[in-house]
Structure 1
Amino acid sequence: MLIYTVKPGDTVDSIAAAYGIPVSTIVYLNQIPYPYRLAIGEALLLPTPAGISSPRSSIYAGGYAYPFISPWVLRETLPYLSYLYIFSYGFTMEGELIGPLLDDAWMIDTARAFGTAPILTLTPFGPDGRFNNSLISQVVNDLDARRRLKDAIVEQITTRGFQGLDIDFEYILANDRDAFVDFVAYMQEAVSALGYPTSVALAPKTSDTQTGLLYEGKDYRRLGETADYVLLMTYEWGYTYGPPMAVAPLNKVREVVEYAVTVIPPSKIHLGIPNYGYDWTLPFVRGTSRARTIGNVEAVQLAISRGAAIQFDDIAQSPFFRYWSNGTEHEVWFEDVRSLNRKFDLVEEFGLRGVSYWQIMQLFRANWLLLADRFNLTHQL
């Protein structure tokens, strides 16, 4: 496939005629709604003539989803996934497992029907719905609570059809760094005995000595040795309460990968990829401003409706645009096939095991088609 950037005067009809492609194909691949308007600077995915191909490496692909995902979106996405991380299972101070508020049995069954491994995602959320490091500290240090949680996870896997465990703990206290490694090792041993993998999500560090609550509790080297594979959470540089910027700027993502491969085998690393963007109001005021989460397809339609031209930042390798609404200026950063293609280049350059998406709740068809065009996607079943 090829990537085409829309120029002034372009229409879907003119692009289709220039490349000998049916209009319906361009519309379908890029989720363009009627009346098929385009934004200047928009990146379109187009098919190349049949027979043109190049050698492709094989990778694994995972995606996180809540039980309230649209069944249609899930079915459209599963053909491209090795793993479906079902978000999420919690636990109490005593190590009792807490399931999602909504039933997830249909997700497990649907994933298995598509040959995708459903993964139990474990998160330490407190009553406020946020990551709770006191809860983490209690369970990773209490042998009885740890055993009780392990037994509950093994029961879920053996009775409900899960095929792996993903441990997504954030804000781990520095004092719990070693205990967390031991916790992951304990869980990995139990899940491995069932024949399934255990993965762990890692905050995006650039050195072992990096300070901050997100980083100090994560020992990249030892967790890389302990888990079957890891997910680098290479996103959220641009985030809800921060200033406008790319969610996953390529220069920052590269720094994380360059460090990670020095302490973890590339064959164990998944690159984290965001499937969303943010819409900020300007001027940004720290402590007051709050960005709105926006889907990638939605972002393009917003640019079209506001008459905004989409620009592409050469350093971040990410698309963005600005627009005005009710006297207020906005700035939007999101992902498109250009920014995703650059991230896929990193996967290939460093020989990484694969990619994992936060999250797959909104369908971005061009992403999946580009991923499948770049790589052979491995299924688990």
Structure 2
Amino acid sequence: MTQHLTRGDGPRTCTSGALAATAALSQLGSDGWGAHRPELPLVIGAIPHWDRGAALMSMYTHARHIDVVSPWSYSMTADGTVATTAGIAVRADSVLATRVSHRNIRTIPTVTNTTSGEWDRDTVATVLSDPGLRRTHVRSLTELVRAHGFDGVQIDYQNLESADRGCFSTFVGELGAALHRIGRVLYVAVHAEPNDAGCRPHNETTDYATIACCADKVIVMAYDRHRAPRTAGPIAPYDWVEEVVRHAITRIPRDKLVLGVGLHGYDWVGSTAVRLTWTQVMSVAATAKPPMNWDETSRTPHFGYILDGIAHEVWFENARSVEAKTELARRHRLAGIALWRLGGEDPSIWRLGP
């Protein structure tokens, strides 16, 4: 099922009541949080085009913790070229790259296979399977990076099928070689899979080992384990994330493997879920005033509430749950973490180190 990328994820004002709820949920089971810990080797922060202002504010506020920013501003087109999304000008990201470079932060924009805010399998499958269109796409991506001073590019092509596996691997190899020739890097985001069988059909698209040979970093998106149209539950249950990591390190070198960490939540009604930022979760909690719960098995906070006679169930990520995943990345000596996404996150997550 396709999903609007911006669904329920837009800016929302945090009321004074929500600020009060912030303290309660940030401290939910937070024993030991904030202790002095070594920084991770790499922290990547995504900047979504639909909440760019909030994301940039977070990035500048917490710049000392961030190594790479990845503007989510670009998509593939049917002719193999690259277009900006939602009216974001390339110049804005070019200026951003210049500004953050003075803070030793690299800019590696993300390119997606989205059309009108929806994941578009047909377009990317057509482009990657046609050698001519694929060459055009590689050339367009390389030129985007070179012309605007970016440090590389991150590919996030989702909802492909097993039939696209070979073409996708070929594309990654060709793009990696082209970027390396001009001294830039290639990051590739892939779906999480806990074993060779994966957990969904689209996992069969990605050949972890082949992609790792061609890319500089592979970001395993270890979140959205529960999402619509499934039943409510934790976004990134700890045991599942660890299973994903243990499988990934058998295919991807640890110094290339980046753990994707979600910072959001979902408000469920039956099998329907609306994505919320942590700030939006705080607003809901401030209004509903529900009892807060901590699920020790998944290491995830959650609560329920009733609105207009309808039962809601909210599962989300906060400082404690994010710290659990961060520590897992440290323990397995991974290259770092990729935060999806900046803007509206629990501010306490930034107490990751000195």
Contact 1:63 / 1:360 at 8 angstroms: preserved in 2? yes
- Provide the residue aligned with 2:298 in structure 1: 316
- Provide the residue aligned with 1:379 in structure 2: none
Contact 1:165 / 1:199 at 8 angstroms: preserved in 2? yes
Stretch of structure 1 that moved more, 290-299 or 312-321: 290-299
Give runs of ≥4 in structure 1 deviating > 4 Å: 38-41, 45-48
- Provide the residue aligned with 2:11 in structure 1: none
- Provide the residue aligned with 1:43 in structure 2: 26
Stretch of structure 1 that moved more, 338-347 or 74-83: 74-83
The count of aligned residue pairs is: 332
When residues 209 and 70 of structure 1 are mapped into structure 2, their CA distance, relative to the original with a 3 A threshold, is closer
In 1, Cα distance between the equivalents of 2:335 and 2:155? 18
- Provide the residue aligned with 2:91 in structure 1: 105
In 2, Cα distance between the equivalents of 1:217 and 1:53? 40
When residues 123 and 222 of structure 1 are mapped into structure 2, their CA distance, relative to the original with a 3 A threshold, is same
Q: 1:205-244 to 2 correspondence within 5 Å?
A: 205-210=193-198, 212-244=200-232
Q: 1:358-373 to 2 correspondence within 5 Å?
A: 358-367=340-349, 369-373=350-354
Task: Give the 3-state SS of the residue equivalent to 1:59 in structure 2.
Answer: coil
Q: 1:348-363 to 2 correspondence within 5 Å?
A: 348-363=330-345
When residues 37 and 209 of structure 1 are mapped into structure 2, their CA distance, relative to the original with a 3 A threshold, is closer
Offset from partner CA, 1:237-282 (integer Å, 9 cap, x none): 122332111111111111100100111111111111112101112x
Q: 1:262-281 to 2 correspondence within 5 Å?
A: 262-281=250-269
Q: 1:1-381 to 2 correspondence within 5 Å?
A: 33=16, 37-38=20-21, 42-44=25-27, 53=36, 56-71=38-53, 73-78=55-60, 79=63, 80-102=65-87, 103-115=89-101, 116-126=105-115, 129-210=117-198, 212-281=200-269, 284=270, 289-367=271-349, 369-373=350-354
TM-score of the aligned structures, taking structure 2 as reference length: 0.85
When residues 133 and 263 of structure 1 are mapped into structure 2, their CA distance, relative to the original with a 3 A threshold, is same
Offset from partner CA, 1:185-222 (integer Å, 9 cap, x none): 10011111222210111111122233643111111111
Offset from partner CA, 1:98-156 (integer Å, 9 cap, x none): 22232242233234313322223222224x54323332222222221111112222221
When residues 266 and 33 of structure 1 are mapped into structure 2, their CA distance, relative to the original with a 3 A threshold, is farther
In 1, Cα distance between the equivalents of 2:199 and 2:234? 22
Residue type of the alignment partner of 1:108:
S
How far has the Cα of 1:170 moved from its partner?
1.5
What is the RMSD of the two structures over their aligned residues, measured on CA atoms? 2.7
Offset from partner CA, 1:57-102 (integer Å, 9 cap, x none): 5421112223343435413324032222222322233312222232
How far has the Cα of 1:362 moved from its partner?
2.2
When residues 251 and 53 of structure 1 are mapped into structure 2, their CA distance, relative to the original with a 3 A threshold, is closer
Structure with greater Cα Rg:
1
In 1, Cα distance between the equivalents of 2:119 and 2:54? 30
Contact 1:240 / 1:278 at 8 angstroms: preserved in 2? no
- The one of the two structures with greater contact order (alpha-carbon pairs below 8 A, sep at least 6) is 2
